[in-house]
Amino acid sequence: MTTVDLAALRRDIASLGERNARAAQRSAFDFGDNDIDRVFREGMQRGAVHEIFAEEAGDAGAATGFAIALVLRASPDQSPVLWLEEDFAAQENGFPYAPGLQNIGLDPQRLIIVRCASPQDVLKAASDSLGIRGTGAVVIAPRSNPKCLDLTASRKLLLTAQQTDVPAFLLRLGAYPSENAAVTRWLIRAAPSQSSGANAPGHPVFDATLIRNRQGMTGHWILQWESDDHVFRQIEPVSGTMVSAPSYRPPQTRKSGTRPY
Amino acid sequence: MVDKLANALRLTAVDEKAAKAGLYKGMALTDARAQFEKLDIAFASPRKDAVLLEKLADWCDRYTPLVALDEPHGLILDLTGCIHLFGDETQLIEDIHKRLHRYGMIVRTALASNPAAARALARHSPGGIIDRNDETRRLYALPLISLDIEETHLAGLKRAGLRSVGDIDVLPRAALTARFGTNLVNRLDALFGRQDEPITPRRIVPVCMVERRMAEPLIAMESVEHVLMSLSDELFRRLQQRVEGAREIEASFFRADGNVRRISIQTGRPVTETKPMFRLLKERLSTLSDPLDAGYGFDIIRLAAIRVEQSQAIQKSLDDRAQETEEIKTLVDRLSIRLGNSRVLRPLPVDTHIPERAVSLEPAATAKQDIVFERTPEHNPGNPPERPIRLFQPPERIDATFEVPDAAPARFTWRRVQHIITLAEGPERIAPEWWREHAGVLTRDYYRLEDNRGRRFWVFREGLYERGDPTPRWFLHGIFA
């Protein structure tokens, strides 16, 4: 007759469940807004590459804000956020400014800024950072459209992100979409805010178009970022301001090297 | 060797042959030319001499980490505890002579019980290894000039008929001090080791150091790595006994032809194991702009812990969280080594109102770990952001037009694009820090603006409107989300 240590078994089973719960919790994130979350039934994939484009040079602030907002949705804890950019990024679009980031909810203490001399260095640092489980999120911001950021390179990043379950956000300022392995692709424009009173600008509002989604539908939303609750909220376009349909046409399969525009 | 001294070309150094012919240091070049028509001269370059001395000092590191410069022409080595590595004293001195001769140097050495004595004996006597019991006699025989005292005092002593160090050491102290000051007595004391005169080593003395001397110089990189690996095992074994980890490690490669290459790596936390350290070292070696060149091979490889820190007792069972933190630190170290410390940065808060100074970006590898950003006092929960998420440094000039003076602009042009303002808030006045600025730095009035396309900007007007500046200058300082 064999005796079974029931208590030990129970503990084992419980711990299995815990581990699974943790994995499930980590593997996806949402927007905190019902309408947009409906598009992602399984949630946004956490360990994946998401790409965020600024539609025009003037939308750099909005695209950066949207990227930060996604970082906060994807990893709300205190884990470090690696910000990888090229040397001249600060001159072109300004450098990530800690007090402002804090204003929209990111604790500057989490931030590690890595300045690279070349896009190759950016990708190498990205791959290293994604390979570490302790990383909260990686914001990868190479300049314009570097050659080295091709299908193979982005697929490598995606694989690493999937293995470690660390989210990667490709922040593309002054760039145009070309084929790569990103799971979602967003086109971000600034949108008029709801004045906080006395004619003052209000909370960040993004005009977000999902132009590619490997997991399902695409869409277009006007989203306000609630800096204190860290949630997106869909809002009606502010009256009196024209919000045109995105002029963007999704890129078809093209030979590499040809400009989609 | 000649140099221009006191408006005349004078000899500053003569070689053996010239010395025998009666030329001497300090002689005017014209006098020397008068005696010998065919004189080989070269202009002295104290700067090059200094560089050479530095190189030699580097080279001497192979004997001891304690090397001090004795400018312009000397080096002082503290060989305490190093002699057994070379057999005995005679072998060590012979080794120095043999190797330096090969490089075409003429050296004179003296090994004595204290630096001052060795220095004086090397300069003013044939030198050699001075026997402890014989040292006083040898020092007594030295000429007065070896005391390195002022000309006037020297002349004074000579007038008194004193010729050697021995002559004055026997004189009563009080009388000497009264006549020539304390300097002379101090020199005497240093010479005889009655007063400890430590040397100032030119490099930081490593806390812990291991080295390997090769019988045959190593050329293959694989064998170099192999040696490094076993050295680092040894180094960490020693550090572990002291419960310490290395924060800075320096690898020195002594090439057989005298060249010395040093590579140092710094880490953000104490390293206690070979593996992470070795990975960093390899990373550094592979990214050197001037790669390590084995040339004729390395005959000594040394690994030294320059800076150490108490390491936590090695934990075998780290929980997930702690392990992740460790991984991040390793990542920061790796990126810092590859890209340089100044490229891997963390924002640190600075207590100032000036926006561009409120944050300083510090190397993450060396920055303090626990930094707390206070919420900006003006920012209340629920309010829209007060500060931009991207800041331009320096601020960029914009052309602004305004309908009402001393108000937010109605439109402005930045980077050739015109922005028509629909929402505006301000001004937020930020005054210069008068205790830090020089005159001419102006007060800024900041505005938060939003244009008709929803783009949000942080702009400021320089100077106080009330002062009546007819053409205020406007700048864009940042952009909001």
Q: What is the pLDDT of residue A260?
A: 43
Asked if A107's CB is within 8 angstroms of B373's CB, the reply is yes
Of the candidates B369, B386, B376, which has an alpha carbon nearest to the alpha carbon of residue B458? B386
Smallest Cα distance from B424 to chain A, Å: 5
Q: What is the pLDDT of residue A241?
A: 45
Beta-bridge partners for A52: A171, A186
CA distance B63 to B211: 11
Which pairing describes strands A205-213 and A219-226: parallel, antiparallel, or unpaired? antiparallel
Asked if A199's CB is within 8 angstroms of B425's CB, the reply is yes
Interface subset of A 150-179, CB within 8 angstroms of B? none
- Convert the pLDDT of each residue in A130-141 to its tens digit: 999 889 999 999
Handedness of CA A98, A100, A106, A107 (dihedral sign): positive
Contacting residues of A for B368, CB less than 8 Å apart: none
Smallest Cα distance from A56 to chain B, Å: 11
Asked if A112's CB is within 8 angstroms of B364's CB, the reply is yes
CA distance B123 to B104: 19
Pairwise pLDDT comparison (B370 vs A67), residue with the higher score: A67
- Convert the pLDDT of each residue in A35-52 to its tens digit: 888 888 888 999 999 999
Write the DSSP symbol of residue B372.
-
The pTM of the full predicted model, rounded to 2 decimals, is 0.66
List the Cα angle B321/B327/B331 in 5-degree steps: 145
Q: What is the pLDDT of residue A247?
A: 45
Considering only CB atoms, A94 lies closest to which of B326, B385, B392, namely: B392
Contacting residues of A for B355, CB less than 8 Å apart: 97, 99
Contacting residues of A for B347, CB less than 8 Å apart: 98, 108, 111, 113
Write the DSSP symbol of residue B67.
E
Instruction: Evaluate the omega torsion of the peptide bond into residue A146 and state whether it is cis, within 30 degrees of 0.
Output: no
Query: If pLDDT is split at 50, 70 and 90, which confidence band does B374 have?
Result: low
Beta-bridge partners for B396: B476
Dmax over CA atoms of chain A, in Å, equals 82
Asked if A191's CB is within 8 angstroms of B389's CB, the reply is no
**Beta-carbon pairs below 8 A across chains A and B:** 206
CA distance A101 to A114: 16
**Least-confidence region, from A3-7, B205-209, B413-417:** A3-7
Asked if B454's CB is within 8 angstroms of A189's CB, the reply is yes
Say if CB B421 and CB A136 are below 8 A apart. no
Contacting residues of A for B324, CB less than 8 Å apart: 79, 132-134
Residue A4: is its pLDDT beyond 70? no
Smallest Cα distance from B361 to chain A, Å: 9
**Mean pLDDT, rounded, for B365-394:** 77
Asked if A113's CB is within 8 angstroms of B361's CB, the reply is yes
Asked if A95's CB is within 8 angstroms of B423's CB, the reply is no
For the structural domain made of A51-234, what CATH number should be given? Answer: 3.40.50.300
Q: Give me the DSSP letters along B359-370.
A: EEEEETTTS-S-
Which pairing describes strands A231-234 and B74-77: parallel, antiparallel, or unpaired? unpaired
Is A237 within 8 Å of chain B by CB? Answer: no
Write the DSSP symbol of residue B262.
E
Three-class secondary structure of residue A60 per DSSP: helix
**Least-confidence region, from A205-219, B117-131, B457-471:** B457-471
Considering only CB atoms, B324 lies closest to which of A111, A133, A228, namely: A133
Instruction: Evaluate the omega torsion of the peptide bond into residue B72 and state whether it is cis, within 30 degrees of 0.
Output: yes
Contacting residues of A for B330, CB less than 8 Å apart: 132
Residue B41: is its pLDDT beyond 60? yes
Distances (CA, A) of A176 to A91, A93, A251, B18: 20, 16, 10, 77
**Mean pLDDT, rounded, for B341-348:** 92
Three-class secondary structure of residue B458 per DSSP: strand
CA distance A159 to A130: 10
Label residues A171-199 b or e (16+ Cβ within 10 Å = b).
bbbebebbebbbbbbbbbbbbbbebbeee
Q: Residue A238: CA atoms inside 13 Å, Cβ hemisphere, count? A: 22
Q: Give me the DSSP letters along B175-211.
A: HHHHHH-HHHHHHHHHHTTSS------SSPPPSEEEE
Smallest Cα distance from B405 to chain A, Å: 18
Smallest Cα distance from B383 to chain A, Å: 8
Three-class secondary structure of residue B61 per DSSP: coil
Is A138 within 8 Å of chain B by CB? Answer: no
Asked if A60's CB is within 8 angstroms of B384's CB, the reply is no
Residue B470: is its pLDDT beyond 70? no
CB count in 10 Å sphere of residue A139: 26
Residue A261: is its pLDDT beyond 50? no
Q: What is the pLDDT of residue B316?
A: 47
**Mean pLDDT, rounded, for B40-61:** 84
Residue type, A210: L
Q: What is the pLDDT of residue A99?
A: 92
**Least-confidence region, from A140-149, A248-257, B215-224:** A248-257
Handedness of CA A38, A43, A48, A52 (dihedral sign): positive
Asked if B478's CB is within 8 angstroms of A94's CB, the reply is yes
Q: Who contacts B424 (Cβ-Cβ below 8 Å, separation ≥6)?
A: A199, A200, A201, B408, B409, B447, B448, B449, B450
Q: Which long-range contacts (CB under 8 A, 24 or more apart) does B172-175 make?
A: none
Percent of chain B with pLDDT over 90: 13
Q: Which residue of B has its CA nearest to A222?
A: B454
Considering only CB atoms, B453 lies closest to which of A99, A190, A228, namely: A190
Smallest Cα distance from A134 to chain B, Å: 4
Residue B263: is its pLDDT beyond 60? yes
CB count in 10 Å sphere of residue B198: 10
Asked if B481's CB is within 8 angstroms of A97's CB, the reply is no
Q: What is the pLDDT of residue A249?
A: 46
**Domain map of chain A by residue range?**
51-234
Beta-bridge partners for A139: A83, A169
CA distance B87 to B63: 12
Of the candidates B341, B358, B395, B459, which has an alpha carbon nearest to the alpha carbon of residue A102? B358
Residue A166: is its pLDDT beyond 90? yes
- Return mean pLDDT, chain B: 83
**Least-confidence region, from A48-62, B99-113, B451-465:** B99-113
**Least-confidence region, from B253-257, B383-387, B469-473:** B469-473
- Convert the pLDDT of each residue in B287-307 to its tens digit: 777 788 888 889 889 998 888
Query: If pLDDT is split at 50, 70 and 90, which confidence band does A245 have?
Result: very low
- Convert the pLDDT of each residue in B208-234 to its tens digit: 888 888 888 888 888 888 888 889 988
Is A246 within 8 Å of chain B by CB? Answer: no
CA distance A139 to A82: 6
Asked if B389's CB is within 8 angstroms of A68's CB, the reply is yes
How large is the ipTM? 0.83
Asked if B382's CB is within 8 angstroms of A228's CB, the reply is yes
Residue B284: is its pLDDT beyond 80? yes
- Return mean pLDDT, chain A: 84
Asked if A90's CB is within 8 angstroms of B393's CB, the reply is yes
Interface subset of A 25-54, CB within 8 angstroms of B? none
